[in-house]
Structure 1
Amino acid sequence: MKALEHDHVFLGADHLRNERRIWLVIALTTVMMVAEIAAGTVYGSMALVADGWHMSTHASALLISALAYLFARRQARNPRFTFGTGKLGDLAGFASAIVLALVALLMAWESLLRLSNPVPIGFAQAIAVAVIGLAVNLASAWLLAGGGHAAHGHHAHHHGHDAHHALTHHGHDAHGQHAHDNGHSSHGDHAHHGEAGDNNIRAAYLHVMADALTSVLAIAALTLGSLYGWLWLDPIMGIVGGLVIANWSWSLLKSSGGVLLDVMPEGETLPGEIRQAIETEEDRITDLHIWQVGPGHHAAIVAVISSQPREPAFYKGRLSALQELAHVTVEVTRAA
């Protein structure tokens, strides 16, 4: 029995490293936030105090990602999570995307108010604050960019499996007997090109990039405003920034929401590869369900009808080259 039992730990390959990077970014942001609020209070600078409190909302948004990594890691072997805690990152990414959308709306609304009621701007001070903010955000982006290819919206490719990434097949043979098989897939260095990225690290990265974009647009608007007296440029840049951030938010909502609802992304080749590996003249797949259970890990239920049914372990062998399949259930039925 022991040999047939297995765990359901489907965390991303860079889980711990990503978690550490986000905590580092939170520490950096918090130090900067405290420094700005303190300096603003001492020197009577409203711009510094306002940016300090803005950074606190930024840090709390990053906290969503950090706590999701921490909880997913600590609860990874909790049997109440039937398919492990790998999807917690997508839940956190979805929540972060909503926060990002609210930030975009607030930016655009504030900018519209400024357009209708212009206020005097202390250009030198505001530019200094924006430059400090940009420096902190670029340092944060640099830290997070190394935390996984998904930060850039690309697909992450992982080679090899850890001990807990066993390829598991559980199925019924033609006579109703149960068969459990558990082992590693011998795929060597094969990397599946449709592998989904980590939406949690991507969410943190997008928060940092949204803040960096805001700083860049603010520096441009304030510099031109101070040179030519274009006070209207600052709120216009705010609206532009809001629209760009809203677009990033929508992209993150779609990808993380898709994982939560078990939607196969467009262009995903895994269903076709499973059919290609299993189907022959004797064997046909009658039902196929595939869903993501963590970054780079998919579960599948494969129902096979065959004129010459074999043990589920036989079909497991056919699927062993597909690295992304971390948990598979095979059901075999004899054709009439």
Structure 2
Amino acid sequence: MGAGHDHSGAVANAAHRHRGRLWAAFALLAALMVVEAVAAFTTGSLALLSDAGHMFTDVLGIGMALAAITATRRAGTDPQRTFGLYRLEVLAALANAVLLGAVAIYVLVEAVRRFGEPPEVLAGPMLVVAVLGLLANIVAFALLRAGSKESINLRGAYLEVLGDLLGSLGVIAAALVITVTDWWWADPLVAVGIGLFILPRTWRLGRAALRILVQAAPEHLQVTAVHDRLAAVPGVAEVHDLHVWTLTSGMEVASAHLTTDPGVDPAGVLAAARAALHEDFSIDHATLQVEPGASAGVCGQTEW
């Protein structure tokens, strides 16, 4: 006897209910990205260019999040996609991390090159555009904050906006230093700071996405603890073929074979096991195979 229920609606809603905020952030940052890119080439500021590049990944990341949400919503009607397209969210987050890392590396390389002979930059326009970028990022940060706690894809966009917000502060500081002292090294120095700030966050986002894609157990769950809890369910003699993984943000999945004691009601064991997974581990999508003790040796356990 086995059981599995579709709890995908709650997961989908975690991203869908923030869709309007995503669109607002997308439009705002796209407009400012164009302004920053044009200003970077006009003023000759590498710090401003790095901020524009970072903002580009913000826009791209939010765009991918919106595309993934749309595709996930439409995929539910296809019977061949038994888990929908929830992994698109994770793939978008991974692509986001790769692009963000590439931008950070480019900025670092270009900044090192400029340290030898820093070019002059137009600090006035650089300061004005950086202030506009800061205001845009503050608004986007507020829009994405709530969703970042529920979705890895939204968390990727949120982290990028957070980094860009701090980057805008750095560009403002560089413009002020150049205006007051004519110390041109402030521009590549701030660019290096932005790049170094981005890289570790990119690594963490990419690592989280890869853990999901390779179907590793969630970091916050100990598989041994799940095993022991299921083994403690009244009537369960043994637990084997246990797997726990993450399908997408907020959707942990489990499967297991439960060998029961003689004369035990399998329906009662199944209900108790599902309740244990829900209450102790917040696992709502579980496929459990309940086996009478006599059939344990022929259940077809898979060796992975």
After TM superposition, the score normalised by the length of structure 1 is 0.74
Amino acid paired to 1:79: P
Show the 5 A alignment for 1:160-309: 197-269=150-222, 272-273=225-226, 275-279=228-232, 283-308=237-262
Residue-by-residue CA offset, 1:214-237 (whole Å, 9 max, x unaligned): 211111222223323322122122
Tell me the CA shift for residue 50 of structure 1.
6.1
More helix by share: 2
Within a 5 Å distance, the mapping from 1:1-336 to structure 2 comes to: 7=6, 9=8, 11-33=11-33, 45-46=42-43, 54=53, 55-56=55-56, 58-148=58-148, 150=149, 197-269=150-222, 272-273=225-226, 275-279=228-232, 283-308=237-262, 310=264, 312-318=266-272, 319-323=274-278, 324-335=282-293
Name the CA distance, whole Å, in 2 between partners of 1:290 and 1:124: 55
Aligned residues: 283
* Aligned position for 1:157: none
The alpha-carbon distance between structure 1 residues 88 and 111, as it changes in their structure 2 partners (threshold 3 A), is: same
Deviation by residue 1:17-60 (Cα, 9 ceiling, x = unmatched): 2222111111112333456678x6xxx94569969974555423
1:301, 1:330 within 8 Å by CA — same for their partners in 2?
Answer: yes
CA distance in 1: counterparts of 2:198 and 2:109, whole angstroms: 14
Question: What amino acid maps onto 1:265 in structure 2?
Answer: P
How much has 1:306 moved relative to structure 2? 3.1
Shift of 1:141: 0.7
Cα distance 1:312–1:328, how it changes in 2: closer, same or farther (>3 A)? farther
Unaligned runs of 5+ in 2: 295-304
Q: CA RMSD in A?
A: 3.1
Identity of aligned residues (%): 28
**2:217 maps to amino acid:** M
* Contact 1:34–1:52, Cα closer than 8 Å, also in 2: no
- Indicate the SS of the match to 2:91: helix
Q: Shift of residue 127 of structure 1?
A: 1.1
Shift of residue 76, structure 1, vs aligned partner? 2.5
The answer (yes or no) to whether the contact 2:218–2:245 under 8 Å persists in 1 is no
Give the aligned residue type for 2:228. Answer: R
Aligned partners of 2:226 and 2:36: how far apart in 1? 54
Q: Per the alignment, in what secondary structure is the counterpart of residue 135 of structure 1?
A: helix
User: For 2:121, what is the secondary structure of its paired residue?
Assistant: coil
Secondary structure at the counterpart of residue 207 of structure 1: helix
Distance, in Å, in 1 between the alignment partners of 2:58 and 2:99 is 10
Give the secondary structure class of the aligned counterpart of 1:322. Answer: helix
Change (3 A) 1:328 1:16: same
Any conservation in 2 of the 1:290–1:298 contact (CA below 8 Å)?
yes
